[in-house]
Amino acid sequence: MEDGRRVLSDVVSTQVDIHRRWGGVVPELASRNHVVQVMPVLHEALTRAGKRLDDVDLIAVTSGPGLIGALLVGVQVAKSLSLATGKPFVGANHLEGHLLAIRLLEDAPEPPFLGLVVSGGHTSFYEVRDYGHYKLVGSTRDDAAGEAFDKTARILGLPYPGGLPIDQLAQKGNPEAIRFPRALPGADNFDVSFSGLKTAVLHHVKKHGLPEGQGLADLCASFQEAVADALSKKFVGAARRLGLERLVVCGGVAANSRLRSLCLERARERGLKLFLPPVRLCTDNGAMIAVAGYEAWRRGLRGDFSLSADPAWRM
């Protein structure tokens, strides 16, 4: 990335095919494959950008939160590159990366805004008073929204990760076919809950059998509607209560077509402005980590050789 905003190349190496047969990410396989892929990806990124390692001013690496083994591979590579080249490095927060992907838009929002980070591991509302100042104001009480998509896909016999296949099937289905529960724990908080929804899908399948064809599309659409409805309602309501006029939705589940359209609709109804990264910047990518690393550096954060991975790093 150049000047903190312009992406010169963004190479994503996905391990989805390796983990799919296990129905989810196998941590040990993830870190081993990181070891295999990291240098070819680095090489490809430099080649596509038309740069050499020598041209680089700063190396940013995800140092948390996430799977410890996978994080450690990245952190060791960043340190090694730094040691070999004398270039500085900085640890970036994965969640801040999702949130700051929005900085890559032409028309990026200025704080304050309300951010929703919605991914495979997280579903959290952050009040962003300034870049670098994030206040957690609400989150899921059980499953992350992405986890709900992945677990539901598993129940339905769809491939991992389940978000995209459910989204695609839902396009052909009726979202009102089945009324699944919207768990909105109280009006006095900004929390959501998804484990009941997943259980409701399981009960439905036990009672009526595994659906096929139109029935499957209807179930996917109804499930997706329940997630998008609950999340967008709570999110837009929270922005109103906190007096924030700008909203950002990010993370892998922000790629969901129904969540995007419903958040846009509800924000517009209330005169609020919603910012959405393009789909390719919603799911995990390197560009978002470059932005987060650059911003962390500007705030004075520096990586040193004692930097370790922090699997539970809170933003």
Binding residues vs Zn ion (CB under 5 A): 119, 284
Q: Which is nearer to ligand KG4, 238 or 250 (CB)?
A: 250
Q: Which does 163 bind (CB under 5 to 8 A by kind): Zn ion, ligand KG4, none?
A: ligand KG4
Q: Cα separation of 243 and 223, whole Å?
A: 30
CB of 144 to ligand KG4, least distance (A): 7
CB of 171 to ligand KG4, least distance (A): 11
Round to the nearest angstrom and report the end-to-end CA distance of the chain.
23
Q: Cα separation of 240 and 12, whole Å?
A: 36
Tokens of 209: 């059998």
CB of 241 to ligand KG4, least distance (A): 26
Q: Which does 150 bind (CB under 5 to 8 A by kind): Zn ion, ligand KG4, none?
A: ligand KG4
Is residue 276 at the binding interface for ligand KG4, with CB under 6 A as the rule? no
Give the interface segment with ligand KG4, choosing from 69-77, 116-124, 269-277, 298-306 (CB under 6 A).
116-124
Q: Which is nearer to ligand KG4, 82 or 256 (CB)?
A: 256
CB of 120 to ligand KG4, least distance (A): 3
Is residue 283 at the binding interface for ligand KG4, with CB under 6 A as the rule? yes
Q: Supply the DSSP string of 46-86, one letter for each residue.
A: HHHHT--GGG-S-EEEEEESS-HHHHHHHHHHHHHHHHHH-
Q: Which is nearer to Zn ion, 119 or 124 (CB)?
A: 119
Rg (CA), the chain: 20
Q: Which is nearer to ligand KG4, 60 or 81 (CB)?
A: 60
Is residue 238 at the binding interface for ligand KG4, with CB under 6 A as the rule? no
Q: Which is nearer to ligand KG4, 25 or 236 (CB)?
A: 25
Pairing relationship of beta strands 273-275 and 113-118 according to DSSP bridges:
unpaired
> Under 8 Å CB-to-CB from 89, ≥6 apart: which residues?
58, 59, 60, 61, 78, 79, 81, 82, 303, 307
Q: Which is nearer to ligand KG4, 81 or 146 (CB)?
A: 146
Residues 108, 187: contact at Cβ < 8 Å? no
**One character per residue 133-172, x = contact with ligand KG4 (rule: CB under 6 A):** -------------x--xx----------xxxx--x-----
Angle, helices 27-49 vs 68-85, to 10°: value is 40
CB of 284 to Zn ion, least distance (A): 4
DSSP letter (8 states) at residue 281: G
CB of 106 to ligand KG4, least distance (A): 23
Among 120, 175, 211, 277, the residue binding ligand KG4 under the rule CB under 6 A is: 120
Angle, helices 257-269 vs 163-170, to 10°: value is 70
Cα dihedral 274, 269, 195, 29, rounded to 10, equals -20
Residues 294, 4: contact at Cβ < 8 Å? yes
Among 143, 191, 284, 295, the residue binding ligand KG4 under the rule CB under 6 A is: 284
> Under 8 Å CB-to-CB from 52, ≥6 apart: which residues?
46
Residues forming the site for ligand KG4 (CB under 6 A): 119-121, 146, 149-150, 161-164, 167, 251-253, 255-256, 283-284
